[in-house]
Amino acid sequence: MINFYFSDEYLNHDTGSHPESIQRIKTVKQLLNNKYNKHHFIEPSKASIELISNVHDKQYIEEILMNIPKSGFYHFDPDTIASSTSLNSYLMAVGGSVDSVIHSINHQSKNPVYFCAHRPPGHHAEKNKAMGFGVFNNVAIAAQFALEQKNYNKILIIDFDVHHGNGTQHIFESNPDIIYASSHQYPFYPGTGNENEIGVGNIFNCPLPSGCDSDLFRELFQKKIIDKINMKFDIIFFSAGFDAHKLDPFGFYQS
């Protein structure tokens, strides 16, 4: 059974006419409501600052908290916007990601699957920098939390998105216990994700050309990621960005 982490609080993260908008999560919620009953939905908790500081610099976290506007919008960078009601979304996106790990630990024998429908996303967020719509790196914080638990010694993050997850890669590129594998269009924003970026042997990038179709995607993903990562993992995170769909205007895939 799949359980879903979702909160209506994400609808309060107002970004105006920005493409990372409320409509994204509304669409996801509508699709899930049509197929699953309410018992499959779990309300995320709010992450503590201490939990977030396991990945992000404390000074950076303080700067984020200080710059949440009382009204209107604040731009952490040209792509990353906060409104007066954004903070709860930030904390719940992290909290729900970590909650899924805790629930996974408690139900490990059942091979649980959790889908975290969060916003804002976070794979571009660096240790000390907001970027690409994201302020905190949700999947990185959850993976780091998992690594600190008793039975999770080998962790895999698979990131599929039209953009490379520079933040997640940089956070873990010197940690051999966390494998990061990414498929993404290259060259493209944010300019990282070349195949020669290997960290300490724990980074596997699968750059895809503009115009890539489903067949080429599968061929390259098999060759550059699946065939190279020949080991078992205690937990697997999918950092899922659906802008690689052929109908998304921000990418140039045909898959």
Active site (annotated) includes residue 123: no
What is the rounded (10 degree) CA torsion for 204, 209, 210, 211? Answer: -110
Query: Which tokens belong to 21?
Result: 């908008």
Any residues with CB less than 8 A from the CB of 178 and at least 6 apart, and which?
143, 144, 147, 155, 156, 157, 172, 202
Q: Which of 123, 124, 163, 184 is labelled catalytic?
A: 124
Pairing of strands 73-77, 80-83: antiparallel
CB 93 within 8 A of CB 136: yes
CA 139, CA 130: separation in Å to the nearest integer? Answer: 15
DSSP string, 8-45: GGGGG---TT-SS-HHHHHHHHHHHHHHS-GGGEEPPP
Active site residues: 124
